[in-house]
Amino acid sequence: MHKKILISEVGPRDGLQNCKGVMPTEVKKRWIKGLYEAGVREIEVGSFVPPKLFPQLADTAELVEYAKTFADLRVLALVPNLRGAKAAIEAGVTSMGFPLSVSETHSEKNLRQTHDQAIENVAAIASLIADQPKEKRPEFEGALSTAFGCTIEGEIREDQVLRLAERLIEAGVDELGLSDTVGYGNPKSVRSLIRKTREVAGDDKVKSVHLHNTYGLGLANALAAYEEGIKVFDSSQGGLGGCPASPGASGNIVTEDMVYMFEMMGVETGVDLDALIKCRDYLAEGLPGEPVYGFTPNAGLPKIYR
C-alpha cells in the first residue's frame, strides 16, 4: 500500500456553499493560511458560479489569488461552464473541476445542463485550456457527481458512470474524480466503481474520491478507496457541507477524523492534527452558530497518537 496520501480540503467550497451564513473574506483567508500552516497542500477555495445564486462563494477569484501566494499549495475551484473556466484561468487556479452529475435529473437541477450540454461545456473548456500559454494551463478534472446514488433518481447504475467517464475523457479532461455526493456509497460499491472506472479510463486517470458521511460510512469508504490505490481524498473541516440540490444529503467526511485515521495507520498526510484542530476556531469566528462535527476533536487526541 502507498504510504502517502493527499488530503484535499473542500470546506471553503463544498462546506461554505451549504451554510446559510456568509463567511467574511478576511476570515476565509486566515482559515486558508491556517490550513496551509497545518500542512494542508490542496484546498478547493471556491466555485466560479453566479454570486447572486451563491453569495457565499462570491469572493472565489480573490481567494484563488490569495491562496496562490503559498508556493506549494494546490489551489482548486469548481467551474460549471466556460464563463467560470475563463474566470478560473484568469485568477490562476492550479486545477479546476467540472461537476458532471451522473444522475441527469440532478444535473439539470444542479447545473441546469443535460448530459449533452455538460459534455459540450467540458469540451469547450478543454479547448480554452489548450489555447492558453503553457504556464497558464490549469489541470482539468471531471468530477462524476452522484456516482454512487442520487436522492432524486435513487440507484445509479455503474454502466451510466462508465459511459460518462469515457465521454469526459474524450471531451478532454485530464483526470476523473468519483463523487459520492449524497453519501449512498458503501465499501463494496466504492471498490467496484474505482476498479471499473480505471478499466475504462486508465489507472492514472482516476486519482481522487469525494466521499460523504451521511450514513456514517465515510471513513470505511475512504479505507476501501485507499486500498484500491486512491491517493487524493476530499474532506471538509468540521464536516461542513452537503449538496443543496440533494435533500438530506449533508455531511462531508470530517477532515480531522480522516487525518486521524490515515496517520494512525502509518499513512502520511503531511497534516499536523493539533494545528488542524485549532483551525476550527476560524469556523466559529466566521460562521457563528454553524454546527461543526468530528469525533477526534471531541474525544481529544489519544495518548498513542504519533
Evaluated on CA atoms 56, 24, 78, 198, the torsion sign reads: negative
- Which residue's CB is nearer to a second copy, number 128 or number 220? 220
Per rule CB under 8 A, count of chain residues that contact a second copy: 38
d(CA 83, CA 115): 18
Per-residue contact flags (x/-) with a second copy for residues 166 to 185, judged by CB under 8 A? ----------------xxx-
Segment near a second copy (CB under 8 A), from 72-80, 106-114, 202-210, 298-306? 298-306
The interface with a second copy within residues 203-222 (CB under 8 A) comprises 213-217, 219-220, 222
CB of 190 to a second copy, least distance (A): 10
Residues near 233 by beta carbon (within 8 Å), at least 6 away in sequence: 5, 6, 7, 8, 208, 209, 211, 222, 225, 226, 253, 258
Instruction: Provide the minimum distance between the beta carbon of 95 and a second copy in the complex, in angstroms, as a whole number.
Output: 28
Chain CA centroid to CA 82, Å: 20
**Contact call for residue 149 and a second copy (CB under 8 A):** yes
Residue with cell 490550513: 35
Q: Cβ of residue 260: shortest distance to a second copy, in angstroms?
A: 6
Angle at 169 (CA atoms; ends 206, 68), nearest 5 degrees: 65
DSSP 83-118: HHHHHHHHHT-SEEEEEEESSHHHHHHHTS--HHHH
d(CA 178, CA 225): 10
Comparing CB distances to a second copy, the nearer of 69 and 298 is: 298
Dihedral sign for Cα 192, 198, 204, 208, please: negative
The three-state secondary structure class of 9 is strand
**Catalytic residue flag (residue 150):** no
Q: How far is the CB of 198 from a second copy (least distance, A)?
A: 20
- By CB under 8 A, residue 303 contacts a second copy: yes
Q: Are 3 and 239 in contact (CB under 8 A)?
A: no
CB of 127 to a second copy, least distance (A): 37
Nearer to a second copy by Cβ, of 133 and 154: the residue is: 154
- Residues 238 and 13 sit within 8 Å (Cβ to Cβ): no
| Position among 132, 248, 281, 291 found at the interface with a second copy (CB under 8 A) | 248
Q: Is position 266 an interface residue for a second copy (rule: CB under 8 A)?
A: yes
Are 141 and 178 contacting, i.e. CB atoms less than 8 angstroms apart?
no
Please identify which residue in 151, 197, 237, 269 interacts with a second copy, judged by CB under 8 A. Answer: 151
Chain residues that interact with a second copy, rule: CB under 8 A: 149, 151, 154-155, 182-184, 186-189, 213-217, 219-220, 222-224, 248, 251, 254, 257, 260-261, 264-266, 294-296, 299-300, 302-304
